[in-house]
Structures are given as C-alpha cells and as structure tokens.
Amino acid sequence: MLQVPKHVSSTSGFTSLRARRKAVLRVRLPCSARDARLELKIRTASTSSAELRSIGALRGTCFSSCPAGRSALAAQLHRRMMADNEWDSIEDKVHGKDVAFKGLTVVPIMATLKLEEGMPASLADALATEIGLQYQIPESSGYTAWCVGSLDLNIGARLPSEEVTGCLPGNELEAQRSRAYLSNVCVTPCMRKQGIAQDLIQHAKGEARGRGVAFLYVHVVPSNEAARNLYLASGFSVENQESVAFARSLNRLPREILLHEL
C-alpha cells in the first residue's frame, strides 16, 4: 500500500494533509522518479448525479467485499453492482425519495483528489482498482478528480438505521432542527491513515453549524477502536451505550452513541 507522509516540509510551500478547516489541502507523495504534489479538496458534495455516483462507487468499495475465490471479472462486476446500489441509496436520501429518511436532510461531504500528471503510477493504479476509472468526476475548475473519502451529515431527530437516538435537545421539535448524525464515514483503502476522515468530520461540523445544528452525534461499535479513537480525537464523547442484552436481541454487537456539542 502506498504510504503518504503525514506532514510536508514547511519549505515546500504546501500545508500538511492534516491541516484543519481548509477547503483545499495539499498532499506530497513519494514517487520513484520525482516528488508529486497532489491536490485534495474537502467539500460539501453537490446533488449532481456525477458526484453522487462517485460517492456510491467509493462506498461500494469500502462497505462490501467480493466472496473469496471469484475471478477478477467477477470481482469487478460485484464492485460495479455494489457501487450502483450505493448510488441509488444516496440519490434517494438526498432527494427525499427514501421513505425511511423522510424528515431528515442528508448532506454528503466528500474528499476529492485531483487527477494530474504528477500522480504516482502506483497510486493511480490503486485508485483505478479500488474505485474504477468510470467514476472519475469533473470538478468545477475544469479538471478531473477521484472521490477518495466521504460521509453523510443527517440533520433530524433520529437516524432510522439506529435504535439509540441522541438525548439533546430534549424537545422533539427542536431536535428536528438542531440535532444531526454522521454516517457512512469512509476513505478508500490506499488513502487511509492520512487524516482524511478527520478532515471530513471537521468540514461536517462547519456545515452542521451553518445549518443551525447544535448537537452532532455518531454511532460506533466500541470494539472498532480505530473509528472510536477517530471520533474521540474529533471532540466527541460517549453519551449512551446499548446494553449487551438489547444488542443480542438484534443479533449484533452493542453500540455507543457519541456526542459533540457545536
């Protein structure tokens, strides 16, 4: 797996990939022939089909796996099927067609990596394999990019896929306006451990504040230490946890709900 340095020399004129609250970040990767400087953007996605389709492709890679022993063609077809399923899902949520999400405002946040000449071949090959060439997106400034990370900001009183809801604010009508949940946090495998997920969360916080959200929640399985540590490092704290007996009745591991007051 290609490793991206977490920090860049201050003499390079580029910021660290972990720089917070910046719309455009720069990441420097090693290349056998030369150093490559690649542009990463953290931003709120539009509702265009091209952008939602690219997010669907990313989630198809991150949230599913092809059964062992399948051929390369079968694996490719499986990824395409999962990408289309995720695309349909996010389209329905964003455009208010998903009945389960009625009353929720779903705002996708995305990280895009500019496709440019200086990109190391190993990284380009990894992105093509993990996401697929057909899921590149045209950016507004006229260049092509990959969606390498995303999450959903769900504004509303409760998240339909979760049994435990946030406690604040106590008034249900107020909660519909000032409570939100993060979900579907993911980064493509070849770009993980570079701070992209934390940057997505930071951007989501700003988006939430701008929309009047005061209480931001996220669910996590405690045994998923990487995700839990990410949320704690992003300012969340545990508000409540399902009992073991309750989780067992649903045939899954108990979950915590974490809160960050904005």
Residue 217 catalytic? no
Catalytic hit among 135, 181, 217, 231: 231
> Residues 146, 175: contact at Cβ < 8 Å?
no
Give CA–CA dist 87/196, Å, rounded: 21
User: What residue has token string 């996605």?
Assistant: 45
In order of 9, 10, 58, 162, 198, the CA distances from 87 in angstroms are 39, 40, 10, 21, 23
Give CA–CA dist 210/202, Å, rounded: 13
> Residues 262, 208: contact at Cβ < 8 Å?
yes
Give CA–CA dist 120/126, Å, rounded: 10
List strand residue ranges (DSSP E) for 174-225, in order: 179-187, 215-220
Question: How many other CB atoms are there within 10 angstroms of residue 68's CB atom?
Answer: 5
Residues that are catalytic: 231
